[in-house]
Chain A
Amino acid sequence: EVQLVESGGGLVQPGRSLRLSCTTYGFTFGDYAMSWVRQAPGKGLEWVGFIRSKAYGGTTEYAASVKGRFTISRDDSKSIAYLQMNSLKTEDTALYYCNREPAIWGQGTMVTVSS
């Protein structure tokens, strides 16, 4: 069964860092681009960023709101995608979803940025 499982969320102070993981199962991870999408409490969906497969250079793209602070990476040997979040702001508080476009979503991991 194809599955994405996010982990690593929690409560963190503004300005600190956090790394999220997306562990995948049931497909050849290295063949696919992976995305991160977030949803602030009671709000809509916001695309965070994207990492291409190695076949397409493994390059990354980011939303303007996180560019320069967030970094997406991947470990194809472990079938895991990562979201490194630095210089966190209160407005980064959200449920963070891992996504294999267009159909596969994880259950999300909650990040709360608060002092």
Chain B
Amino acid sequence: EIVMTQTPLSLSVTPGQPASMSCKSSQSLLHSDGKTYFYWYLQKPGQSPQLLIYEVSRRFSGVPDRFSGSGSGTDFTLKISRVEAEDVGIYYCMQGINLPRTFGPGTKVDIK
């Protein structure tokens, strides 16, 4: 089973300021097809998870361009260029290369 770890576990951000969080996987998520099966989700309070980023750096439809993903292999980063109040919630990373799918423990983001 691939273990996903996230840092930090919590983050308090001033609106308009940038934020960054990290996710590491215990194995490479690079598939032989050339794709890296790594995802970022945001779960806002009281809501289902919503996909932000897929395949490391591709923004899902409707996701604001202040969100960006980067990384490769086993190390990945999500950056928010200017945090807005609506960005509060828990950010989860997930690997999609192997079964069982595994999620990181989440990074909880709140507003100062």
Chain A interfacial positions (CB closer than 8 Å to B):
35, 37, 44-47, 50, 61-64, 97, 101-103, 105-108
| In the complex, number of A-B residue pairs with CB atoms less than 8 Å apart | 45
Chain B 87-108, CB-CB to A under 8 Å as 1, else 0, gives: 0001010101001111111100
Q: Is B50 an interface residue (CB 8 A)?
A: yes
Give the size category of B's interface with A. Answer: 20 to 34
Q: How far is the CA of A71 from the CA of B61 in the complex (A)?
A: 32
Q: Is B51 an interface residue (CB 8 A)?
A: yes
Interfacial chain B residues near A102, Cβ < 8 Å: 39, 51, 54, 94, 96
Q: Are B48 and A45 in contact (CB under 8 A)?
A: no
Q: Are B54 and A103 in contact (CB under 8 A)?
A: yes
Q: How far is the CA of A58 from the CA of B41 in the complex (A)?
A: 27
User: Which B33-64 residues have C-beta < 8 A from chain A?
Assistant: 39, 41, 43, 48-51, 54, 60
Q: Are A103 and B99 in contact (CB under 8 A)?
A: no
Of the A-B pairs whose beta carbons lie under 8 Å apart in the complex, a sample of 10, sorted by A's number, is A44-B92, A44-B106, A45-B41, A45-B49, A61-B99, A97-B49, A102-B51, A103-B51, A105-B48, A105-B50
Closest to A104 in B: B51
